[in-house]
Amino acid sequence: MLHTVNKSPFERNALDACLTRAAKGSAILLYEDAVYAATKGTNVASRVSQATQAFKVFVLGPDLRARGFDEAQVLDGITVIGYDEFVDLTVEHGTVNAWL
């Protein structure tokens, strides 16, 4: 299963809702305002880093760059992808669950 999260972890609980209910080994894509969860130095960084052990975590590059961040500011263990790879993820991981 591919889980998508599109909300900042500082405003909404979507990331937490996803991390606590995604089956181990699932893929998680952070996009739109959820890209902030993928950046270094936040107070959720350790939680997100830990999540990369249990899940395959991705962040959408175009959303990241739109918000003034680049690849260098992304936590280790998170893969930066584009829309093409977003499509590939949905193909590879079966059902998609959007945590809105």
Partner 1 sequence: MQFGILVNEGPYNHQASDSAYQFVKAALGKGHKIFRVFFYYDGVNNANKLTEPPSDDRNITKRWSELGKAHGLDLVVCVAAALRRGIKDEVLADGFRISGLGQLIEAGVHSDRLIVFGD
Partner 2 sequence: MSTDENSSGVVKKFMYVNRKAPYGTIYALEVLEMVLISAAFDQDVHLAFVDDGVYQIKKGQDTKGVEMKNFSPTYRALDGYDIEKLYVEKESLDERGIAASDLMVPVEIIDRAAMTALIDSMDVVLSG
31 binds partner 1 (CB under 8 A): yes
The region, left, alpha or beta by phi > 0 then psi within -120 to 50, assigned to residue 94 is left
Rounded Cα distance between 36 and 90, Å, is 22
End-to-end Cα, the chain, rounded Å: 16
Q: What is the closest distance, in whole angstroms, from the C-beta atom of residue 79 to partner 1 in the complex?
A: 17
Token output for 67: 């918000």
Q: Candidates 17-25, 51-59, 69-77, 78-86: pick the segment binding partner 1 (CB under 8 A).
A: 78-86
Q: Which of 20, 43, 68, 84 binds partner 2 (CB under 8 A)?
A: 20
Q: Which residues bind partner 2 (CB under 8 A)?
A: 1, 13, 17, 20-23, 26, 95-100
